């Protein structure tokens, strides 16, 4: 069992302004993300206690807390890393080529990703699917509904209301535009490289 910890932000709390305010980054990282880390640690403790006691009554609920809080922790970690005050622009190199190959063009990929981000009750994800050996966009509700088994997330956009409502009110589209102003394609390229090393 690992004692999961909240990762430090790779930049200052106000570094993503004006796309995302210092206040939202502070609440989002220190309160929401911390909550998922705590929830995952608590669920793991409960599962371990239940195994020790041979009493599995609360185990199914604890398992749901593992997937909810664990997915929340892992996706938020990627979300912070795949934004940067120096971000923006379009992908380059091998990832850009693969997006063109798998989606037709960057514009087609972006239109599809934005459709997922506009409709999701959780996240829009660009993932690598190691079974089909292709990139896909996913529309994820909460943190773990409509997940695809085995898929490796390489870009994550959090569209929970805690991610944008304070800054943008109900205008989620403005937030998605702001996300693309700070998106760090270098991090996405690193994650894509890992997939190539492991699966192709
Ligand atoms: Fe979030």
Q: Is 123 found in the same domain as 34?
A: no
Tens digits of residue pLDDT in 141-164: 999 999 999 999 999 999 999 999
Any residues with CB less than 8 A from the CB of 45 and at least 6 apart, and which? 1
112 plus 192 within the same structural domain: yes
Separation CA 178–CA 142 (nearest Å): 21
Q: Which two tokens stand for residue 122?
A: 């959780």
CA of 60 to the centre of ligand 1 (A): 24
pLDDT tens, residue by residue, 163-175: 999 999 999 999 9
Give me the mean pLDDT over the 112-116 stretch: 98
Q: Per the domain annotation, does 188 fall within a domain?
A: yes
Last residue of a domain, one of 58, 81, 104: 81
pLDDT in tens, 37-78: 999 999 999 999 999 999 999 999 999 999 999 999 999 999
Q: Do residues 35 and 108 share a domain? A: no
Q: What's the CATH code of the domain at 133?
A: 3.55.40.20
List the domain range (segments joined by +) for residue 169.
93-199
Q: 67 with 163, same domain?
A: no
Neighbours of ion ligand 1 (CB under 5 A): 158, 160
pLDDT at residue 1 in the model:
59
The annotation status of 28 as a binding-site residue, yes or no, is yes
Asked if residue 29 belongs to a known ligand binding site, the reply is no
Residue 4 resides in a domain = no
* Strand residues in 130-192 grouped as ranges (E): 134-141, 152-158
Instruction: State in Å: Cα 56 to ligand 1 middle.
Output: 31
Full-model pTM: 0.96
Query: What is the rounded CA–CA span in Å between residue 4 and residue 69?
Result: 11
């Amino acid at each position: 069992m690992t004692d999961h910890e909240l990762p430090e932000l790779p930049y200052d709390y106000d570094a993503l302004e004006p796309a995302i305010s210092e206040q939202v980054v502070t609440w989002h990282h220190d309160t929401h993300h911390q909550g998922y880390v705590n929830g995952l640690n608590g669920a793991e403790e409960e599962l371990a206690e239940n195994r020790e006691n041979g009493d599995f009554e609360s185990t199914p609920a604890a398992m749901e807390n593992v997937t909810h809080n664990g997915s929340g922790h892992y996706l938020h970690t990627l979300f912070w890393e795949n934004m940067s005050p120096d971000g923006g622009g379009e992908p380059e190199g091998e990832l850009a080529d693969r997006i063109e190959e798998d989606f037709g063009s960057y514009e087609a990929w972006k239109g599809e990703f934005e459709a997922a981000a506009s409709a999701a009750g959780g996240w829009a994800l660009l993932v690598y699917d190691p079974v089909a050996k292709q990139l896909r966009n996913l529309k994820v509700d909460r943190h773990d509904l409509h997940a695809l088994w085995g898929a490796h997330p390489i870009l994550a956009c959090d569209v929970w209301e805690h991610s944008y409502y304070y800054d943008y009110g109900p205008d989620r589209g403005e937030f998605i535009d702001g996300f693309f102003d700070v998106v760090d394609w270098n991090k996405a390229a690193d994650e894509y490289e890992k997939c190539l090393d492991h699966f192709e």
